[in-house]
Structure 1
Amino acid sequence: MTSAAAHPATAARTCDRETSVTRSLLGYGVIAGPVYVGVSLTEALTRDGFDLTRHAWSLLANGDLGWIHVANFVLAGAMTTAFAVGLRRAHSRGWAPRLLGAYGLSLLAAGAFRADPAQGFPRGVPGGVPGGEVSWHGIAHLASGGVGFACLVAACFVLARRFARGGQAAWAWSSRATGALFAAGFLAVASGAGAAWANLAFTGAVVLGWAWISALAVHAYRNA
């Protein structure tokens, strides 16, 4: 039996190949946020009847062009899950990759279970949920979102603790701030009863969360 030590060239090629795969997976984390936010904003600014101050991005999954946002959810979820796998390969221990993987899976579920039309979108839908009732897929969408957001917030604080132990104060504080602000944005939209300030606060929190994931992916890529 031949050891890797006896063939350093083979060992180096194996190491390079594994590093390349890990970096490729981490790279998905860099682009997942810009793709999701870019597509969502483009939809929000071009879809008839959509109002950024009143409507959550999830509502874009409704209507004739709803398939675009469903695909956006699925693509972002797949890329985030791939990033979580890469983070696991780069840093084998800890809960952060699992939590971010769960967030990715929640995005896939959000795409599979469409939010109910509401608050006049798509155009012609009355304010609130039609009939005052939430469908089963609407409930599943809300549940997947709640679980996913909780996992993202938890990942922020788990990594903040790791960064603090490693002496990376800036990363520790930015991770804590992201987790706290994202949680505040989610609570605002959950309790704001459709208020413009609450919807805008949540939209800002979503953008911030994706920005943190992209920055984290770049950081992990450079250190892989």
Structure 2
Amino acid sequence: MAAVLWAGAAAAVLFVAVFSIDGWTRPGYRPLRHPVSALALGPRGRVQAANFLCCGLLVTGAAAGVLGVGGGPLLAAAIAVFGLALAVSGVFPMDPMRGYPPGAPEGTPPRFSMRHQVHDAAGAAVFLALPAAAFAAAVVLPGAVVSWYSALTGAAVLALLLLFSRAWELDRPLTGLIQRAMIVVGWTWLALMLALFAVRAD
């Protein structure tokens, strides 16, 4: 039980490390503007696709561990939805747009492919399941520090999600930065919570 929880925690940390390093070293990719999902496109797209898939599946496995050590069905379900939706994001990449990969149109396409629509739906599930998990943890986990940290994380992710959604619609130059802030806040909380459950299970 502890092993799957530690694996989920490590996956959350490695997810951020992989897209950060890949994004800053990818030719033609602009981390401040482009979303993390765009890294699944282009010659090195398999790196981020695998990052989505591996992290998603490991976190989904960790959700079973959360349930097994008394995290409650609501928290475990929210984490499982998050993990599965993240894995789907790796299977169905977004469409090329906004200058990435190099040679893609600078603007937004008038119509999206079916795979892009699936990716969008999966992304929405990811970024809604994460604050749902944080709010569930604030209710079910003992300890004022953990409870408040979880509640604040849920609120911060929702606020950043609103900012990101607006920035994405208007193609703001710092769209990618806002999304990265949201991911770092959310994934850090997730890694810490899974590590906490892993310690309990040991």
TM-score tier after normalising by the smaller chain length? over 0.9
1:164-218 deviations in Å (ceiling 9; x for gaps): xx3x111111101111111111111111222134432221110111111111011
Equivalent residue number for residue 188 of structure 1:
163
Higher relative contact order (CA 8 A, sep 6+): 2
- Number of the residue aligned with 2:131: 153
Question: 1:169 matched to which residue of 2?
Answer: 144
2:84 maps to a residue whose letter is L
CA gap of 1:136–1:175, structure 2 versus 1, over 3 A, is same
Match of residue 63 from structure 1: 42
**Contact (CA 8 Å) 1:77, 1:105: kept in 2 or not?**
yes
Q: Could you tell me how far 1:29 is from its partner in structure 2?
A: 2.0
Contact 2:63–2:80 under 8 Å retained in 1: yes
Match of 2:91 in 1: 112
Question: What SS is found at the alignment partner of 2:73?
Answer: coil
Give the aligned length: 199
**Which residue of the partner structure matches residue 193 of structure 2?**
216
Distance in 2, Cα, partners of 1:198 & 1:42: 18
Counterparts of 2:30 and 2:123, CA distance in 1: 21
Question: After superposition, what is the alpha-carbon deviation per residue over 1:1-45, rounded to whole angstroms, capped at 9, x for unaligned?
Answer: xxxxxxxxxxxxxxxxxxxxx101111122011211111011101
**Consecutive unaligned residues in structure 2, runs of 5 or more:** none
Counterpart position of 2:76: 97
Q: Distance in 2 between matches of 1:116 and 1:187?
A: 22
Once the two structures are TM-superposed, the CA of residue 128 in structure 1 deviates from its matched residue by 2.2
CA distance in 2, matches of 1:179, 1:139: 25
Aligned equivalents of 1:92 and 1:103: distance in 2?
16
Q: Residues 64 and 119 from structure 1, CA distance in 2 versus in 1: closer, same or farther, beyond 3 angstroms? A: same
Aligned partner of 1:8 in structure 2 is: none
Out of 26, 36, 39, which is 2:5 matched to?
26
Q: 2:71·2:140 contact (CA, 8 Å) conserved in 1?
A: no
Q: How far does the alpha carbon of each residue in 1:136-159 deviate from its partner, in whole angstroms, 9 at most, with x for none?
A: 111110001101211111111011
**Aligned partners of 1:137 and 1:99: how far apart in 2?**
24
Give the corresponding residue for 2:182. Answer: 205
CA distance in 1, matches of 2:106, 2:156: 28
Query: Residues 59-85 of structure 1: CA distance to partner in whole angstroms, max 9, x if unpaired?
Result: 011111111111111001011111111
Equivalent position amino acid for 1:53 in 2:
L
The percent identity for this pair of structures is 30
Max Rg structure: 1
For residues 135 and 215 of structure 1, the distance between their equivalents in structure 2, rounded to whole angstroms, comes to 36
Q: Contact 1:117/1:125 (CA < 8 Å) preserved in 2? A: yes
Gaps of 5+ in 1: 1-21
* Contact in 1 for aligned 2:9/2:59 (Cα 8 Å): no
Please state how far the C-alpha of 1:119 moved relative to its aligned partner. 1.1
In the superposition, relative to structure 1, how do residues 197 and 65 fare at CA in structure 2: closer, same or farther (>3 Å)? closer
How far apart, CA to CA, are the structure 2 residues paired with 1:221 and 1:158?
18
